[in-house]
A = this chain, B = another copy of it.
């Protein structure tokens, strides 16, 4: 049974991006502080093979790489130009957006812009994922998915830092959402908490 799972690294004060988050400065100032826990080697790209430390980075990258589709917000995908057209293993990428895609997307057959809303985008992502999970990314996308009740789980990597300012994962939601804690992994670099959304 496919689940939609939001994966986000967040500071204790709720920020998932630093100030000045824009193309050319993806994730804003000092964004990598929120992702140090992966343990990427400094001289290599962020892949499962380059992580070190406690091994928790590799564990989560492996988990992410097992998902069968990606649903990510336009802000997220444009900052990294759609991961060059392939997030991992050739799985399809869905981007909910009312505006037409930029020109690069014509070169990316795995990327689909969905103009008729988050419910439709999630439905297409779940169909594409089959019995695998859908990886969800992005703050605005998370909020719209919560509002539309199409998000199943949250995997929060809570990083021991107060960022002070930037972009929040959860800004203001129209309703309260009850959660169930289903897994806590305690490491020195981050507290990894997985929640199920209670319906």
Contact = CB atoms under 8 A, between A and B. Distances in A.
Contacts of A12: 154, 156, 170, 179, 195
Given A162-B176, A165-B173, A170-B13, A191 B188 contact: no
Interface of A: 12-14, 30, 146, 154, 156, 158, 160-165, 168-170, 172-181, 184, 186, 188, 191, 193, 195
Contacts of A181: 160, 186, 188, 191
Contacts of A184: 184, 186, 191
A164 B173 contact: yes
Most buried by B among A160, A180, A191: A160
Nearest to A184: B186
The 3 closest A-B pairs by CB, nearest first: A13-B170, A164-B173, A160-B179
Contact of A180 (B154, B160, B191): B160
A176 B181 CA distance: 28
Contacts of A180: 160, 188
Given A12-B156, A13-B14, A172 B177 contact: no
Contacts of A146: 162
Contacts of A175: 164
